[in-house]
Structure 1
Amino acid sequence: MRTIKKIHKAVYAPMDDLVTYRALPTREVEYIDPFLFLNHHGPQVYKPGNRGLPFGPHPHRGFETLTFILDGDIMHQDTGGGKDVIEAGGVQWMTAGSGLIHAEVSSDKFKKEGGPLEILQLWFNLPSKLKMAKPTYIGLQKEAIPVVTEDDGKVKVNVISGNWGATKGPIPSLSDIHMASIEIQAGGSFATTIASDRNIFFYVVRGAVIVNGQKVDKLNLVEFTNDGEELKVEALENSYILLGHALPFNEPVVSHGPFVMNTEEMVRVFLSTAFEGGRHQNRVNKIADC
């Protein structure tokens, strides 16, 4: 079995009235190549007449984002043409690549009516050869995500990218990242095999589980070594986890806010050209006016 190197508690990092826990990066763990960043928003309940999510138009470049909507919704729009509202159970996968501007806000309906909200956003790096990939966006409602059941229905695996057994996820990953969200009833269990040269991303969103012999509570990220292939997971209570794996890129990572490149020079050059002649602000206005 894979050996657990360390279990990292997500840090509390609220954004105005939005409850937020950050699992990556923290003082203890910078990233797990190629998994760069995880913000866990909520759980919380918004009152009717709320302002919703605060993520108005902002830029990204050099990486990808995967957003899980557990409760509430997200209205997405970007300068590449992506636009929709994804509701509870759905996901959004965006390849920022060479660069775009997008907004992630709550729908008018959610702002008017309120309700429970819990959303997680995970960032994946892109290898240097794909940093300038064309920006793309895929939004999937819950019904479009294939589900694999195990342990007499106690385990439900929502397959997003890559494969889970014979089931293929609907989102093609540019860099062979396999991602799933897994719902486990108390007492349920599953086992899976992941090649030892692939890094594992394992975050407990809700509940508590035993993974490879160690207890992991909610709001904790598990960092594994690369010495084995088997994962065994058992739920101590009703639980929800994010599980992914990928080959590490083993490349330099230089980040400046929402830009992730390989060198300081690449970031500096992009910043100097992106804002030239007011082009950046014009693109921000384009989204804000819609």
Structure 2
Amino acid sequence: MRQIIRQHPALRDDIADLTTRRPLPSRDLPQLDPFLFLNHHGPQTYPAGNGGLPFGPHPHRGFETVSFILAGEMAHLDSGGHESVIGEGGVQWMTAGSGLVHAEISPKSFRQTGGPLEILQLWVNLPAALKMSHPAYTGLQAADIPAIPLEGGTLNLISGEFAGRAGPFASLTGVAMMTLELEAGGKVTLPAPQGRTVFLYVVAGEPLVQGTRAHEAHLVELDQGGDSVEIAAEGPVRLLYGHADPIGEPVAAHGPFVMNTREEIHEAIQDYQAGKFGAVTL
């Protein structure tokens, strides 16, 4: 079994009126290769007549974004012609690849009536050979994502495999990703294949990871000493869990662009300014 090395708190970094906490990157953990970035928005309740999510049109290149809608809903629109509104329990997986412009906003109905909102957004790096892949997007509702019963809980399988099932999202780099909900007394042993990087974020509650208490709103860094992770719950917990092969390449990041060199970052900025990423009109 893998053991906890360190726990990294999600620090507040609100965006407009959106409550935001971020455990990655942090001072002690600039990346968890290939995982680059995690924002935890909410939980909060928006009033009626709100302005909604503040993520208007902006560009990306060189990586993938995975958004988990834990409560509320989020509308997606991008320059590749993809458009959707994903509700509670759904997931959006976007490959920015060679570059696109997208917007992540609240639909009109949410802005009018308000309601609870909680969203996780994870950035997953791409290796140099795939950074200029054709952009792609898939948005699935909760009903499209397998909900696998556990001992005292449920595992929602987003990508990769678990218990003989396959998640509906096909990652370019074989990333396995899932969310879990456990009640008091719940227990699960999750795969953590040798050589793979494990991503474990505690959304809510305080689970025991191989007997060690993990803290709410913390990214849990694990060692390489095993091929599985045992998680037990003394009370209700919610987790984001995944694993992936490390890329092991240089990372050059600037705002919404993640490449391998500073020269490639300059090229991305020039291409965006030249209109090569397309545009989104709200």
- Cα RMSD of the aligned pairs, angstroms, is 1.1
Aligned to 1:134: 134
CA–CA distance in structure 1, aligned partners of residues 123 and 174 of structure 2: 14
Mapping 1:263-278, distance limit 5 Å: 263-276=261-274
What's the % identity of the aligned pairs? 48
Amino acid of the structure 2 residue aligned with 1:180: M
Secondary structure of 2:121's aligned partner: strand
Mapping 1:188-267, distance limit 5 Å: 188-267=186-265
CA–CA distance in structure 1, aligned partners of residues 228 and 95 of structure 2: 30
Aligned to 1:44: 44
Secondary structure of 1:269's aligned partner: helix
Contact 2:59 2:272 in 1 (8 A): no
Aligned to 1:23: 23
Amino acid of the structure 2 residue aligned with 1:79: S
Which stretch shifts more, 229-238 or 131-140? 229-238
Amino acid of the structure 1 residue aligned with 2:163: G
Note the C-alpha offset of 1:192: 2.3
CA–CA distance in structure 1, aligned partners of residues 250 and 223 of structure 2: 20
Contact 2:200 2:241 in 1 (8 A): yes
Aligned to 2:155: 157
CA–CA distance in structure 1, aligned partners of residues 267 and 126 of structure 2: 18
Note the C-alpha offset of 1:23: 1.2
CA–CA distance in structure 2, aligned partners of residues 161 and 107 of structure 1: 26
CA–CA distance in structure 1, aligned partners of residues 133 and 146 of structure 2: 27
CA–CA distance in structure 2, aligned partners of residues 29 and 48 of structure 1: 38
CA–CA distance in structure 1, aligned partners of residues 110 and 260 of structure 2: 39
**TM-score between the two structures when normalised by the length of structure 1:** 0.95
Contact 2:98 2:131 in 1 (8 A): yes
CA–CA distance in structure 2, aligned partners of residues 169 and 193 of structure 1: 14
Note the C-alpha offset of 1:283: 3.8
CA–CA distance in structure 1, aligned partners of residues 187 and 174 of structure 2: 26
CA–CA distance in structure 2, aligned partners of residues 283 and 25 of structure 1: 29
Q: Does 1:35 align with 2:35?
A: yes
Runs (5+) with no aligned partner, structure 2? none
Which stretch shifts more, 33-42 or 192-201? 192-201
Aligned to 2:106: 106
CA–CA distance in structure 1, aligned partners of residues 141 and 235 of structure 2: 26
Amino acid of the structure 1 residue aligned with 2:168: P
Secondary structure of 1:138's aligned partner: strand
Aligned to 1:117: 117
Deviation digits for residues 141-160 of structure 1 (CA, Å, limit 9, x no counterpart): 00000111121xx2201000
Note the C-alpha offset of 1:249: 0.5
Q: Does 1:176 align with 2:213?
A: no
Note the C-alpha offset of 1:225: 1.7
Contact 2:157 2:178 in 1 (8 A): yes
Aligned to 1:53: 53
Deviation digits for residues 201-232 of structure 1 (CA, Å, limit 9, x no counterpart): 00000111000121012101001121211211
Note the C-alpha offset of 1:42: 0.2
Runs (5+) with no aligned partner, structure 1? none
Amino acid of the structure 2 residue aligned with 1:256: H
Note the C-alpha offset of 1:237: 1.4
CA–CA distance in structure 1, aligned partners of residues 201 and 271 of structure 2: 37
CA–CA distance in structure 1, aligned partners of residues 240 and 11 of structure 2: 17
**TM-score between the two structures when normalised by the length of structure 2:** 0.98
